[in-house]
Amino acid sequence: MVTLQLNRVSARYGRQPILEGITTPCFQGGQIVALLGPNAAGKSTLFRRILGLLKGEGEVIISGTSAERPVGYMPQDTGAKAVLTVYESVLLARMQGRGLKVQPEDLAQVDRALEELSIAALGERDIGDLSGGQRQLVSAAQALVQEPEILMLDEPTSALDLNRQISLLTVLRRLADERQMLILVALHDLGHALRFADAAMLLENGRLIACGPTAEVITPSLLRQVYQVAARIEPCSKGQPQLIVEAAI
């Protein structure tokens, strides 16, 4: 089973240090880990560091995989300028690192990714003509279609309506449960993190302030400290923890 552990990981842009000494427990396939923190805390930077796009001290330790490219990534910026249809763009993503010869399995995986995200009907549309939410779903399909063992998504629900937010997170939960993917997902909606994530990492100013089971990370005192909000967490009538934000302070 694939595992990921960070050991004193740092990152900088030029001379500007952004991340300092990030150490995590060993996360494993089957888990959803929410990456939390206010704007500019360093979430996207951490994804880039894990992908090897940024250098820095410390170690990103990935084991339990024989895949050449075990990590898939859905970036935050889903701007699409290429003149491609949705289907072509997802197929192109599938073929990255697989050579140019398209196999029936590749087409089947494109169909599956589009269907999983309920965007099969958009297949023939140009990606430049899509709405922001549609583009975000196509970007998610481009990451899913690679069948990575570790999937990292940077705020994948930020442009989606309520139904599509929950649908996408439900798909992620299923990929973790059924295909034993390890999923790291940056989220601003802490209610979604409470509901869908097994564990959470909370970043503030490039440092890891808390890391562990989601309900132990999303606490009123940490929300006050890191997000400057007064908040309560109470069980709903079905016993699920609900986040109630009373005020920005």
Ligand X SMILES: Nc1ncnc2c1ncn2[C@@H]1O[C@H](COP(=O)(O)OP(=O)(O)OP(=O)(O)O)[C@@H](O)[C@H]1O
Nearest CA-CA partner of 37 in 150, 155, 145, 156: 155
- Kindly indicate which of the ranges 10-18, 21-29, 77-85, 164-172 contains the residues binding ligand X, using the contact rule CB under 6 A: 10-18
Compute the C-alpha angle 82/140/244, nearest 5°. 130
Q: Which is nearer to ligand X, 17 or 128 (CB)?
A: 17
In the complex, minimum distance from the CB of residue 192 to ligand X, in angstroms, rounded to a whole number: 15
Q: Pick from 7, 13, 103, 115 the residue near ligand X by CB under 6 A.
A: 13
User: For residue 156, which phi and psi values (nearest 5 degrees)?
Assistant: -70, -15
CB of 71 to ligand X, least distance (A): 17
What is the rounded distance in angstroms from the CA atom of residue 85 to the CA atom of residue 136?
Answer: 14
CB of 40 to ligand X, least distance (A): 4
User: Is residue 202 a contact point for ligand X (CB under 6 A)?
Assistant: no
Taking the least distance from each CB to ligand X, the nearer of 2 and 33 is 33
Site track for ligand X across 20-59, x = CB under 6 A: -----------------x-xxxxxxx--------------
Does residue number 193 form part of the binding site for ligand X (CB under 6 A)?
A: no
The minimum distance between CB 84 and ligand X, in angstroms, equals 26
**Residue 193 CB, nearest distance to ligand X (Å)?**
14
- Closer to ligand X by Cβ: residue 111 or 189: 189
Q: What is the C-alpha R_g of the chain?
A: 18
Please give the distance of CA 129 from its chain centroid, rounded to a whole number: 25
| Choice between 40 and 82, CB closer to ligand X | 40
Q: Which is nearer to ligand X, 18 or 90 (CB)?
A: 18
What is the smallest separation between the CB atom of 239 and ligand X, expressed in angstroms?
31
216 and 202 Cβ atoms separated by less than 8 Å: no
**Encoded tokens for 59:** 């170690």
**What is the distance between the alpha carbons of residues 249 and 241, in angstroms, rounded to a whole number?**
22
Q: Which long-range contacts (CB under 8 A, 24 or more apart) does 92-98 make?
A: 93/141, 93/142, 93/143, 93/145, 93/146, 94/145, 94/146, 96/69, 96/146, 97/68, 97/69
Q: Which residues of this chain interact with ligand X, rule CB under 6 A?
A: 13, 16, 18, 37, 39-45, 76
